[in-house]
């Protein structure tokens, strides 16, 4: 069992949920803080995609 692969996909799923939450928050109330939250979530999701791609390659 490849724990790196599973962990990468679980992190990607979780970061996707955080990004969805941040996006919905920005639709409800657009503030500087909600924008920073969305930006951080997007960057975290991009990082998780990099880990998933690396885990597939291995």
Q: How many domains does the chain have?
A: 1
Q: Which carries the bigger pLDDT value, residue 1 or residue 57?
A: 57
Binned at pLDDT 50, 70 and 90, residue 57 comes out as confident
Residue 45's pLDDT band (cuts 50, 70, 90):
very high
Q: Residue 42 in contact with residue 26, Cβ under 8 Å?
A: no
- Mean per-residue pLDDT, 27-47: 97
C-alpha dihedral (46, 24, 18, 43), degrees to nearest 10: 20
Domain containing residue 22: 3-57
- Please tell me the predicted confidence (pLDDT) of residue 58: 78
Residues 6+ apart with CB under 8 A from 2: 55, 58
**Mean pLDDT of all residues in 14-28:** 98
pLDDT beyond 80 at 52: yes
CB < 8 Å & 24+ apart, contacts of 36-43: 41/15
Q: What is the pTM of this model?
A: 0.87
């Amino acid at each position: 069992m490849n724990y790196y692969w599973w962990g990468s996909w679980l992190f990607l799923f979780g970061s996707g949920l955080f990004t969805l939450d941040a996006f919905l928050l920005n639709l409800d109330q657009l503030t500087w803080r909600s924008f920073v939250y969305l930006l951080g979530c997007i960057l975290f999701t991009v990082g998780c995609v990099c880990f998933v791609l690396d885990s597939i390659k291995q």
